[in-house]
C-alpha cells in the first residue's frame, strides 16, 4: 500500500504534527478509533476527514465520524464482519457498532480521471460519476478547504493539501477550485456554504460568495426530496434566524420558497420583526434549551405569509374565513411541492394549524370548547401567540385563549357567553354571505 505523502517538496501537503494541533483522541469515538486502528493494522491508510476533523479542531465533540482509506469497499468489508456496502455511483462501507455507524469511504479520483463520466445538463449544471483515487485527489474533490483536513491515525498528524488549516484559523469558508464550477457540479454546496458559515461563525470567502446570487436558480434542478432534507438541516440547526437572513442575502431563499419570498418583499422596510423571523427565533431557543421542535410548525411558519395573503383575498371575495384558509393552504402547498417535497406528515398538520387561526376568533358558544380538544390545538395556539406578538393578530384574542385554558368550568362558561368582547368574533358572526366550498379535484399529494 502506498504511504501518505510527507511534508517537504513541491506539491506535497503541509503536515501538522501532534504538537502543532489540538485534536485529542479522547474526543474521538471509540468505535471510530477501532476502525482506524484495524485498517492500519491490515496495512491500509486510514484517516478521519471532513466535519469531524473541523469540529475537533474547534474543540467541539462531533456527532459523526467519517473515515477515508485506500482500501476498496470490498476490502473494507473483508476486514469488518459488521460491515455493509451501500450506494451505486460511489460505494461506501458502513461499519455497524450497535446504534453507531462509522462510514468508511475509499479515496475519490480527481476530475481528470472521471471525465469519461461527465455530463452537462441544459442549464449548465455539471454531473459526473465518482471513481476511486488517492488521498491527494480526494482532498481536491472535497467542497470546502476546512472540510478537507485529514487526521492520520498512523502518527496523529493533520494532513492539509488545500490550505484548510489557514482558513480554519481565519474562520473562512472557501471552496476548493473554481467556485462557479463547483457550484454547478452540486448547487446544494451554496446551501452548505451558508449552513457551515452560520453554524461555525465563519465568513464565506468573497470569491466563493460572489457567484451564489447568480447561480441560486440552479437549486431548481435539485430533487425536491433532497432539498427537504437540506431545509431541515438549515432551519433546525439552532441558528434559524441567522440562516434565514443569509439565505435571503444571497438570493437562495427565493429559490427555495418563491411564494414566501415574494410575499415578504411586500413588507415595508423598518417593519417590526416579522412573524417568520420571530418563529425561527423561538425555534432556536427551544433547540438551545434541548426542547423538542416539530418540523410541521416550521413549515407552517415558512409558508404562512403567502397563505395569509391568499386567504385574505378569498375572504374579501366573500368566502367563509375557515374555508378560505383551507383553500389557501392547499394552493400554497401545491405550488411549494414543485421545489421542496414536503411529506404528508408535515403538510397535513401545517394545514390544520392554518385553518384553525380563524376559528380562534369564534369565542362564543360551544365552538371554543370543541377547539380546545383539537389534537393540534397547542401548536395552533402557539402560532396565534406569535401572530399577536408580532402585531398580526389581536393581543386581546390571544389573551382570551390563554385565560380560557386555565379557567375553571364556571368561568369558561361565563367567558363563552360574552366572547371576551373581542371585535374579531363579532365581525365573523355578522357576515351574511357564505360560499359553499367546491370539491377540489386537484388536491395536492405531498
Tell me: pLDDT of 4 over 50. no
Taking the whole predicted model, whether its pTM rises above 0.85 is answered as no
Under 8 Å between Cβ of 40 and 153: yes
Where does a domain end: 113, 142, 170? 170
The predicted pLDDT at position 109 comes to: 87
Under 8 Å between Cβ of 260 and 302: yes
**Mean pLDDT, all residues of the chain:** 88
Tell me: pLDDT of 3 over 80. no
Assigned domain for 176 exists? no
Looking at the structure, do residues 272 and 163 belong to the same domain, yes or no?
A: no
Assigned domain for 290 exists? yes
In the structure, what pLDDT confidence band is assigned to residue 266 with cuts at 50, 70 and 90?
Answer: confident
Looking at the structure, do residues 413 and 267 belong to the same domain, yes or no?
A: yes
Tell me: pLDDT of 421 over 90. no
Rounded Cα–Cα distance for residues 14 and 6 (Å) = 8
Nearest in space to 304 (alpha carbons), one of 345, 336, 338: 336
Percent of the chain whose pLDDT exceeds 90: 77
Tell me: pLDDT of 168 over 50. yes
Assigned domain for 286 exists? yes
Tell me: pLDDT of 360 over 90. yes
Nearest in space to 107 (alpha carbons), one of 60, 156, 159: 159
**94-117 residue pLDDT tens:** 999 999 999 999 999 875 444 444
Looking at the structure, do residues 290 and 155 belong to the same domain, yes or no?
A: no
Positions marked catalytic: 64, 66, 143
The predicted pLDDT at position 116 comes to: 46
In the structure, what pLDDT confidence band is assigned to residue 245 with cuts at 50, 70 and 90?
Answer: very high
Q: In terms of residue numbers, what domain contains 51?
A: 14-170
Q: Contacts by 4-10 with C-beta closer than 8 Å and gap 24+? A: 4/45, 4/47, 4/135, 4/150, 4/152, 4/154, 4/159, 5/135, 5/136, 5/159
- Paired sense of beta strands 149-152 and 46-49, if any: antiparallel
Tell me: pLDDT of 441 over 60. no
**129-153 residue pLDDT tens:** 558 889 999 999 999 999 999 999 9
Of 42-46, 173-177, 247-251, 405-409, give the lowest mean pLDDT range: 405-409
Q: Assign 85 to helix, strand or coil.
A: strand
Which residues have CB under 8 Å from 411's CB, separation 6+?
none
Tell me: pLDDT of 8 over 90. no
Assigned domain for 41 exists? yes
**176-216 residue pLDDT tens:** 999 999 999 999 999 999 999 999 999 999 999 999 999 99
Looking at the structure, do residues 162 and 262 belong to the same domain, yes or no?
A: no
In the structure, what pLDDT confidence band is assigned to residue 12 with cuts at 50, 70 and 90?
Answer: confident
Which residues have CB under 8 Å from 147's CB, separation 6+?
49, 50, 51, 54, 164, 196
Amino acid at each position: 500500500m502506498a504511504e501518505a505523502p510527507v511534508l517537504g517538496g513541491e506539491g506535497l501537503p503541509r503536515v501538522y504534527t501532534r504538537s502543532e494541533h489540538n485534536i485529542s483522541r479522547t474526543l474521538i469515538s471509540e468505535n471510530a478509533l477501532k476502525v482506524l486502528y484495524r485498517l492500519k493494522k491490515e496495512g491500509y491508510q486510514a484517516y478521519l476527514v471532513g466535519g469531524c476533523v473541523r469540529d475537533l479542531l474547534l474543540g467541539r465533540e462531533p456527532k459523526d465520524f467519517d473515515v477515508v482509506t485506500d482500501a476498496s469497499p470490498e476490502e473494507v468489508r473483508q476486514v469488518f464482519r459488521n460491515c455493509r456496502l451501500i450506494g451505486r455511483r460511489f460505494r461506501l462501507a458502513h461499519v455497524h457498532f450497535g446504534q453507531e455507524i462509522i462510514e468508511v469511504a475509499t479515496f475519490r479520483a480527481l476530475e481528470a480521471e472521471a471525465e469519461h463520466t461527465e455530463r452537462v445538463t441544459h442549464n449548465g449544471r455539471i454531473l459526473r460519476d465518482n471513481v476511486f483515487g488517492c488521498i491527494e485527489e480526494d482532498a481536491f474533490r472535497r467542497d470546502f478547504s476546512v472540510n478537507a483536513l485529514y487526521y492520520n491515525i498512523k502518527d496523529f498528524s493533520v494532513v492539509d493539501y488545500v490550505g484548510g488549516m489557514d482558513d480554519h484559523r481565519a474562520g473562512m469558508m472557501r471552496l476548493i477550485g473554481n467556485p462557479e464550477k463547483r457550484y454547478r457540479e452540486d448547487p446544494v454546496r451554496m446551501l452548505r456554504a451558508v449552513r457551515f458559515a452560520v453554524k461555525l461563525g465563519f465568513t464565506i470567502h468573497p470569491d466563493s460568495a460572489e457567484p451564489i446570487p447568480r447561480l441560486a436558480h440552479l437549486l431548481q434542478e435539485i430533487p425536491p426530496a433532497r432539498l427537504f432534507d437540506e431545509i431541515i438541516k438549515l432551519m433546525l440547526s439552532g441558528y434559524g434566524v441567522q440562516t434565514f437572513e443569509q439565505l435571503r442575502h444571497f438570493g437562495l431563499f427565493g429559490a427555495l420558497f418563491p411564494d414566501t419570498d415574494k410575499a415578504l418583499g411586500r413588507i415595508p422596510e423598518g417593519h417590526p420583526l416579522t412573524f417568520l423571523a420571530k418563529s425561527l427565533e423561538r425555534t432556536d431557543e427551544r433547540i438551545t434549551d434541548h426542547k423538542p421542535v416539530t418540523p410541521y410548525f416550521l413549515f407552517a411558519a415558512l409558508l404562512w405569509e403567502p397563505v395569509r395573503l391568499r386567504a385574505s383575498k378569498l375572504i374579501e371575495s366573500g368566502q367563509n374565513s375557515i374555508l378560505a384558509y383551507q383553500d389557501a393552504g392547499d394552493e400554497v402547498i401545491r405550488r411549494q411541492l414543485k421545489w421542496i417535497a414536503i411529506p404528508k406528515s408535515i403538510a397535513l398538520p401545517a394545514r390544520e394549524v392554518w385553518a384553525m387561526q380563524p376559528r380562534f376568533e369564534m369565542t362564543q358558544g360551544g365552538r371554543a370548547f370543541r377547539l380546545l380538544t383539537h389534537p393540534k390545538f397547542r401548536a395552533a395556539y402557539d402560532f396565534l401567540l406569535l401572530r399577536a406578538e408580532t402585531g398580526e393578530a389581536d393581543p386581546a384574542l390571544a389573551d382570551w385563549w390563554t385565560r380560557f385554558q386555565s379557567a375553571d368550568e364556571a368561568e369558561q362558561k361565563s367567558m363563552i357567553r360574552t366572547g371576551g368582547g373581542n371585535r374579531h368574533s363579532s365581525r365573523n358572526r355578522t357576515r351574511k354571505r357564505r360560499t359553499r366550498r367546491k370539491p377540489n379535484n386537484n388536491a395536492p399529494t405531498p
